Amino acid sequence: MNVSATDKSTGKTQNIIIQTSGGLSKDQIQKMVKDAEAMKAEDEKRKEQIEALNEADQLIYTTEKSLNENKSKLSEEVVREVESALQDTRKAIADKDNDLKSQVEKLRAAAMKIGQ
């Protein structure tokens, strides 16, 4: 790239040529693109795990809150079932269980009994 500037008061002109002094070759760029494509599936899996973890955390919080607010109105059986589901979900989070989604669904089903 050629760049030039002229000083209006003196009329003096300066020129400079800007060139790349390195950068990546086409082969390096293609390798980086292939690596990114190869990691795409792993990135998607990780994203799903993070979303499931966030959903589980949120569900645990809301279920505990609802359970504490309504514990006196619930049967012992429902309370035990919800507390067991809460404990199992916490364990699945701690163990980084791949089946966290199904545990979240079990907790959700148990939490629905609070509202019944």
| Widest pairwise Cα distance in the chain | 94
* Percent of the chain with pLDDT strictly greater than 90: 30
Task: Give me the residue spans of the domains in the chain.
Answer: 25-115
Helix locations, the chain, DSSP H: 26-70, 76-94, 100-115
pLDDT score, position 62: 93
Q: Which CATH architecture has domain 25-115?
A: Up-down Bundle (1.20)
pLDDT score, position 49: 86
Q: Are 81 and 53 in contact (CB under 8 A)?
A: no
pLDDT score, position 21: 66
- Alpha carbon distance, N-terminus to C-terminus of the chain: 73
Helix locations, 7-25, DSSP H: none
**What average pLDDT does this structure show over 23-30?**
85
pLDDT in tens, 85-107: 999 999 988 888 777 888 889 99
Q: Are 59 and 108 in contact (CB under 8 A)?
A: yes
pLDDT score, position 84: 92
Q: Position of tokens 């799903």?
A: 48
CB half-sphere exposure, 116, CA atoms < 13 A: 10
pLDDT tier, 43 (very low <50, low <70, confident <90, very high otherwise): very high
